[in-house]
Amino acid sequence: MKQTKKDKKNIDTPCKQLHKLRYYKKIQDLAKQYHEPGETILIRVFYNHIYPIYPMSYSQFRRIIEEPALNSRIAELEELEEKKNEKE
């Protein structure tokens, strides 16, 4: 049976999610490295350190910073990928 575009899109979804979450993790780590609460303003950290490496809007940056339970979601998706690779 021939796969449609919709079927192909669903196959790669966990892999794409994992890639996106790892990207978010890098941005969060970089922001934590430069942001000192009470000393630096988050928007300055964004424009001086984040934006030159990862161009995006400030609102997107705020959504990434506020992403909940990022480490646990990454671990869960990595576990699914390992199980998928073991079956193949």
> pTM for this structure?
0.74
* pLDDT average, residue stretch 5-21: 70
In this predicted structure, the answer to whether residue 79 has a pLDDT above a threshold of 60 is yes
Question: Cα separation of 21 and 67, whole Å?
Answer: 9
Mean local confidence (pLDDT), 8-28? 80
pLDDT tens-digit profile of 55-65?
Answer: 999 999 999 99
Residue 4, pLDDT score? 56
- Can you tell me the mean pLDDT for 15-26? 90
